[in-house]
Structure 1
């Protein structure tokens, strides 16, 4: 007898089986979505709020870093600063500083001296240059047009207020004409400036070099925190300053205020307190807010 082979026909899914599988898969997916929706929504909420907090924190860090570069006793605040009204904090930005060679009592060696290393700063007598005690930090960054300031005590102190003469030489500040780096292991740099009789000597023979004013302008109505620089020094604080270069640091600002307490005179320090609130809306249009408060210590040693 010859063997026979049986061929079995291949059998697939029926339409009913496919529909049943799709229904079961849909039920399982819907059940999984119920449990996954809340964690996923929470993740995106957390990410959005973290970005909002980071934006506020970054702006305050930049503000704090700049305030620590303020000329001692040069901070001033303008505006109502009620939280929802515009508020401005202004200061004179330091470029460099150091100590100057002072003329002994009774001396009268004016620039230019026969011996260049006796170019000491005269107090109470019109002078045009000084020698530094050691190298000046970041001297290469100092340019003609910067200002030399000696013994700044701030507004209300005659002869010791760098704001008083505005953008011109006068009082305790003089416009720099040129700088020259010293040589050798113990260099003494030379700084030439417009003729001025500095009225008061610094007890520690300190001098500061400033590049100009900087304002942080907070405007809740516009929702911005802006850094403004490159405008002229003015005796009265401009609110807001005109001209210069504006750099936005934060948007979505709905409240802010600056307060300055210079009362820590015994410690030669001041405190700047900053409050800021940022607001952004979630995808559903619900506003989300973050409020930050920071305090920054500034040196007021003239």
Structure 2
């Protein structure tokens, strides 16, 4: 009798493991890991003026961190970097458009294919012109940097009230060596809080070698989200998204998101700056595992290579640790809540 009971119990366990569980798990896994195909909000898309396009095609290889794999400081980094942009090492580089018409056409293909609504930031003329091509898909922001762009606070207020400006950002002070808690920024934060206009604040990486050839005042340390603590205490009702999510200060970001639940982040193209597994394991999965999947927003950081939008989307859809619901939150739901978009 005891042998029979043990045999029956063993048989039941085998049936459970070999029969029930695998098929059930397979079905659940399949449904959860399905690619998201709904509408997408891109929180990080740049508008360019025609004269900002290169007259010669420029290549973009991903992941961007490997575009210059080694460098001798006796050389000029700018020469090395632009040399790679003209003669890339990767097999399938993205090439930039050389005319504004081509730029708009290729961008339009991405917008239509992926049902994109985008926050577009850039100069006032650039955003106005691009909004003319995508009046129903794009939301107007403004890219500015204090000490460089002559945009006083009262001018921004007027733009919000009369020009349809909906977002303050991307604010790119980091490239000018200006910390997010610099007192010169406080009047702008006060305006954003008073007018209830969301802020997109650059805190994260630029191009590889940025301080060597593009922006010598750039400070890596200004990516640290801990620098926002005084700001958030002073302006607790301000809506703020950390563009590029303060990469690579993930632990500091997690601590700040825990203590300041008003913080949102956008991916800002960092998903194609580094190899996928590093981005997945050290960045995205860590944020999701910490419980902040409801405050992560999609951002392509598309500048002059429209097809980077497609790659940015694929990287998130290919993340096998994300459920379908988590993908939908990143691609649309979180940004819609942050922006307070009307529900259909």
Does TM, scored on the shorter chain, surpass 0.5?
Answer: no
Query: Which of the two has higher C-alpha Rg?
Result: 1
Q: Which has the higher helix share?
A: 2
Higher relative contact order (CA 8 A, sep 6+): 2
TM class by shorter-chain length? under 0.3
Q: Which has the higher strand share?
A: 1
Give the structure-2-normalised TM-score: 0.25
